[in-house]
Amino acid sequence: MSELLELVKKDAEERMHKSVDALKAEFVKIRTGRAHTSLLDHVKVDYYGSEVPLNQAANVTVLDIRTLGVSPWEKNMVGKIEKAIRDSDLGLNPTNLGDTLRVPLPPMTEDRRRELVRVVKHETETARVAIRNIRRDANHELKNLVKDKEISEDDERRAEEVIQKLTDKYVAKVDEALAEKEAELMEV
């Protein structure tokens, strides 16, 4: 495969990989009934005038299956961290213990689980569309290379097959991530 074709393939593969990573990052934000430290990863805290991720201002630990513990590096940050967690889209209500916070996770109802599965499926479809758009962009790039007579039509067809295989591979990874998250959400 020529250098140009290799560049198109590499670019498409990198972008598809980023789409899968972005989906997994979204899945982390969608909580299950179980406590895990990554649940608070996207919570931002005002730390001396700049917004920083919570894990850069405090230590987050799992106290038990339904409770997280948050220990700020500095005692004066407790109130700001408590407010940041409360104001986040997670629907959590931390308890201030003076120099630490307890963050209990409410039990998940069956309706809430089903609603989260719908959200997860929507996120998955968005990732699939992103991957197909990357395929379309790569194929468009190949057509331009043929038009500019930089590659032959045979090279284009072979490259399109390679891009299609990449697309199938990354859509399968998205579907795999969906199956894992769905099982995790429906687990009682």
> Which is it for the CA torsion 169, 29, 68, 54, positive or negative?
positive
Q: What is the pLDDT of residue 1?
A: 54
Residues 6 or more apart in contact with residue 86 via CB below 8 angstroms: 92, 93, 94
Assign 33 a pLDDT band (cuts: 50, 70, 90).
Answer: low
- Report, at the CATH architecture level, how domain 3-29+109-186 is classified: Orthogonal Bundle (1.10)
Is pLDDT at 12 greater than 90 in this prediction? yes
Distance CA 20, CA 55 (A): 23
User: If you search the block for the tokens 């299609």, which residue do you land on?
Assistant: 164
Is pLDDT at 34 greater than 90 in this prediction? no
Is pLDDT at 36 greater than 90 in this prediction? no
Report domain 37-104's class: alpha beta
Distance CA 8, CA 26 (A): 27
- Domain map of the chain by residue range? 3-29+109-186, 37-104
Distance CA 34, CA 171 (A): 27
Higher pLDDT, 119 or 124: 124
Maximum CA extent, the chain: 70
Percent of the chain with pLDDT over 90: 40
Which three-class secondary structure string do you get for the chain? CCHHHHHHHHHHHHHHHHHHHHHHHHHHHCCCCCCCHHHHCCCEEEECCEEEEHHHCEEEEEEECCEEEEEECCHHHHHHHHHHHHHCCCCCCCEECCCCEEEECCCCCHHHHHHHHHHHHHHHHHHHHHHHHHHHHHHHHHHHHHHCCCCCHHHHHHHHHHHHHHHHHHHHHHHHHHHHHHHHHHCC
Assign 188 a pLDDT band (cuts: 50, 70, 90).
Answer: low
Reported as a single tens digit per residue, the pLDDT across 142-155 is: 999 999 988 899 99
Distance CA 173, CA 151 (A): 31
Reported as a single tens digit per residue, the pLDDT across 165-184 is: 999 999 999 999 999 998 88
Q: What is the pLDDT of residue 142?
A: 93
As a whole number, the mean pLDDT across the chain is 88
| Reported pTM | 0.68
Assign 117 a pLDDT band (cuts: 50, 70, 90).
Answer: confident
Contact 33, 66 (CB under 8 A): yes
